[in-house]
Structures are given as structure tokens and as C-alpha cells.
Amino acid sequence: MVNGYLWDGSAIDVFRVYSIILVLEGSYMLFGNYSNKPLADMARIAVRSTGNFNWTFIAILAFVVYVYASEYQRKNFSGIAAGLALYMVHWLYEIANAIICAVTGYALWTVSAQSTSFILLIGVSWELSMMFSIAGLATHKLLPDDPKKKIFGVNNRVLFAVANAALFSLVEIFLASTPAFIWVYPWWGALPVFITTYIPFFLAAFLVPDTKPKTQKLFIGCLALLNIVLLCIFIPLGMI
């Protein structure tokens, strides 16, 4: 029983519970709320379940492959480095978030099973992961050609990283106000995710491509290897 409603765990009841929470708490969520625990519990059960699988999975993958193939054909290696740098940092964060869930009972951020065709880890759906796979590449196109140029006295790479982090954090406020994306902890929300998550994401995307090709490969390759090792350890252990 949640606020007078009988909850049987169905998709309809998930949205009903969340609608009640939004009415009681206000339209937008700047921070998490422990009242979201039932939704997070359901999501944890659905990690890597194929129950909601649909063919958008394949269509989105084909789109991402097309984007990278097109950039490779144009020899936009800096853009590809930006995309992969952000994506590797993204995966490291998602693994850490899943480990936090295993240790404390709840992740910092959680995606609901009803919002996706497939949950990869507790905090990332297939659709979100594919978006992050091209986010660095897409936003890198907005940067000035001169990596040393300053805007308002600030290096343009740093300024654009902060600006994009702020934009993504604002979008996340909206997402956390829907049944698709769940914040549980009251101390986690828009400001922490802006500072600790999105700024590092975009700093990686905007700074790594300006380094030497060898440094780019080392950064991306080492993070990719670390992510693979962590996944190979913690997934079989049932922790993530």
C-alpha cells in the first residue's frame, strides 16, 4: 500500500506511484527522495532482463555505427577521440554507480525497466548508453578551432565543458521528475551530478582530442581495458 493505493509491481502501478510522488513533492526534482525506493527496487530486479526488449535496440545501434563510420570516412579523428573519451569515462562511472548500489542497497541514479528496451547496469539503459556514445563527438563539433582561445577570460575547452555539463544537468532534473530516471538519496541531485559527473565527462571529451594521438590512444585504451576488467570481475560475482 503506497499513499492509499494498492501496489502490485505492475507497470501501471509504477507510474501511478510516481505520479503521486510528483504531486506531493512538486513538479521537478532537484534532489533524490527516499520515497523512490520502491521504483529503484523494481529496476534492480530488471537489470539485463530481456522482458522489455524491442527492435529499437538494433535501430539505435545501427545509427551509432553509421555516425562513427561517417566521421571515420571524413577522417575526423579528433571527434572520434572526443566521443570515445567521454564514453569510456561514462562507463567507469556507471560501473562505480552499480558497485555503490551493491554495497549500499541503492545507486546514485537508477533507470526504470519500463522506460527502456534493456538495462545494461542499474544506472544506464541501452538508449542512454548509445546517447553517451556520441555525446562527446557531437558536442566537440561546437568547439572553436583554437584550443587556447579564451572566452570571458576562460579557456574555451573548460568553458564549453562547464556549459554542456550544466545543460545535461538541467535535462537530468527533468528526467528525475519522470518515472524513467530515479534518484533515491536526498543528498544526490542536480548540483552533485553537475560537479562530479558531467564536468569530468566533458573535460575528457574536450581536452583529450587536443593531446597527441599516442596520448589519446593511451587514455581511451587504458580506460576501456579497466572497464572490461571491472565488468568481467563484478558481473560474474553478481554485484552489478
pLDDT score recorded for residue 7: 39
Does some domain include residue 1? no
Does some domain include residue 239? no
Does some domain include residue 77? yes
pLDDT over 90 (residue 207): yes
**Where do the DSSP E strands lie in the chain?**
110-111, 119-121, 124-125, 150-151, 154-155, 181-182
Does some domain include residue 4? no
- pLDDT tier, 3 (very low <50, low <70, confident <90, very high otherwise): very low
pLDDT over 80 (residue 149): yes
pLDDT over 90 (residue 85): yes
Does some domain include residue 2? no
Distance CA 229, CA 231 (A): 5
Is residue 214 classed as helix, strand or coil in its secondary structure?
A: helix
Does some domain include residue 50? yes
Report the pLDDT averaged over residues 206-212.
98
User: Which residue's entry shows cell 556520441?
Assistant: 134
Share of residues in the chain with pLDDT > 90 (%): 87
Burial code (b: 16+ CB inside 10 Å, e: under 16) for 107-124 equals bbbbbbbbbbbbbbbbbb
Burial code (b: 16+ CB inside 10 Å, e: under 16) for 208-229 equals bbeeeeeebeebbeebeeebee
Contact 182, 108 (CB under 8 A): no
User: Which residues constitute the domain of residue 222?
Assistant: 11-234
Contact 80, 148 (CB under 8 A): no
Model pTM? Answer: 0.88
Does some domain include residue 190? yes
Q: What is the pLDDT of residues 9-58, one digit of tens each?
A: 454 455 455 545 554 555 678 999 999 999 999 999 999 999 999 999 99
**Where do the DSSP E strands lie in 152-232?**
154-155, 181-182
Q: How many domains does the chain have?
A: 1
**Cα dihedral 81/199/175/4 (nearest 10):** 140
